[in-house]
Amino acid sequence: MFAVLVKKEILNNILSFRFAVTFLLFFLLISGSMVMMAANHSKQMHDYYNLTAAYRQRVEQMRDFQEFEIFGMTSRRRPNPLSAVAMGLEPDMSRSVTNSLWQDIEIGGSPYANPLFALFSTPDVTYVISIIVSLLAILFVFDAVCGEKEEETLKLMLSNSVPRDTVLMGKCVGALACLYASLFISLGSGLVAARVISSLAFSGTEWLRMGGLFLVVLLYISVFVMLGLFISTSTQRSGTSLMISLLVWVVLVLGVPNLVPVVARQIVPLPSMARLAGEERAIHEEEWGNIRQRLREARTQEERRELITEARQAIERRLGMLRDNYENRYIQQATLAKMISRVSPSACFTYASTALALTGIDTYTDFVRYVYLDFRSRFERGIAELRRDRRSRESEVGAIDFERLPKFEPENDTIQLSFKHALTDIGLLCAYNMLFFLTAFVKFLRYDVK
């Protein structure tokens, strides 16, 4: 009986105009997004190689070591292929990083970012699924129960010895089968087209991450199917169900993710970057002002060096405390926002997908720590070694050996660690599925079909 009901639901869905529109939108949006983002990734790779080659040529043409110290070392992170699927924070991690002994680390703008992506939301696959596909999923089943009641086919079906739980499961499986088939065809076509027209290619580990992403997408679509069934079993008319479905979708997908950061900023306020920079300048001025008179009174060069070293250490200590305090409050704000926003399945989906694609918050935090701590210390040690090398002091073209410069290679999380970061959000998506299905099940057991 269950197989018959599933077959009936699938046939009804396939033969409906709604399925034709849904499949067409799936195919055009997902495939088109995949192709467009793959082309954008190919351009990023081309620009990355060109910029790296141009910088190498400039370094190799430097005449002495002092010129290199003033110019500094500019590094760039290799573009992530998975950003074509889930862009996340990739634009913030693709910026140039300049280290110099004469000044603090300088973070530049992304040299190959598409300006349209700054004006509009990046149309990657996860964005299309998070916004468009979730809406199509909930509209696909908004009248699955109340619509059949209005047509009086539900009363006719239940007049036979058909259990209500079997009917509901049949509707659920039938809707998911149609949506999953549309998703699989659209995503598969997009990957094939992207591979043909661009240089986008995934390694074995990246294909495993793609598999994890696909499972998260299935869970996310299922959440809105279960939610649509719950709303349909809670209403008596399809028009009412449609209005409630749209309202709930707007709140969960558009409202909560956009309002939560504002709420978090009010609860855990952060000073602006301009204020932070002003406090840093004030620390510099105060510490140098404290030793200015002592420098005038110093009698030997050794005493002056000791005073300058003392001032620099005091400045570094106070700047470190200031930045640690800012970082702690930033982490508190981000943690609070992340925790509250998980009320929305859309936020859970975004966190899980970007964690698996290495474009999420955890990857960005590790990247910033690498830039300011790990690579900065490697850069300083490398410069000290180059300074001791006589060849670095030769006053002729080619004085700097590019191959001996520290390599800018941020380490990515292992796939096990990425799944661990995404586990909470995957668990919440499973919980939302169970919650909406069980509430729909309870409602349908008491549903008045007359």
**In 3D, which of 127, 93, 99, 86 has the Cα closest to residue 112?**
93
Give residue 300's pLDDT. Answer: 75
Give residue 120's pLDDT. Answer: 53
pLDDT at 397 over 50: no
Tens-digit pLDDT profile for residues 358-375: 888 888 888 878 877 777
pLDDT level of residue 102 (50, 70, 90 thresholds): low
Is the alpha carbon torsion for 402, 406, 412, 414 positive or negative?
A: positive
CB neighbour list of residue 437: distance below 8 Å, 6 or more residues apart: 172, 226, 229, 230
Give residue 398's pLDDT. Answer: 52
pLDDT level of residue 73 (50, 70, 90 thresholds): confident
**In 3D, which of 439, 343, 344, 337 has the Cα closest to residue 134?**
344
DSSP 228-292: HHHHHHH-SSHHHHHHHHHHHHIIIIIIHHHHHHHHHHHHS----HHHHHHHHHHHHHHHHHHHH
Using N-to-C axis directions, what is the helix angle for 17-26 and 2-14, rounded to 10°?
Answer: 70
Give residue 395's pLDDT. Answer: 44
pLDDT at 425 over 90: yes
| Burial (CB count <10 Å: 0-12, 13-18, 19+), residue 222 | buried
Neighbours of 356 (CB within 10 A): 28
Which residues face 242 on adjacent strands? none
Calpha distance 372→376 (Å, rounded):
6
**In 3D, which of 41, 403, 324 has the Cα closest to residue 201?**
41
Give residue 392's pLDDT. Answer: 44
The H or E element containing residue 70 is helix 65-71
Domain ranges of the chain: 2-262+344-445
**In 3D, which of 38, 34, 41, 350 has the Cα closest to residue 185?**
34
**Burial readout 115-146 (b: 16 or more C-beta within 10 A, e: otherwise):** eebeeeebbbbbbbbbbbbbbbbbbbbbbbbb
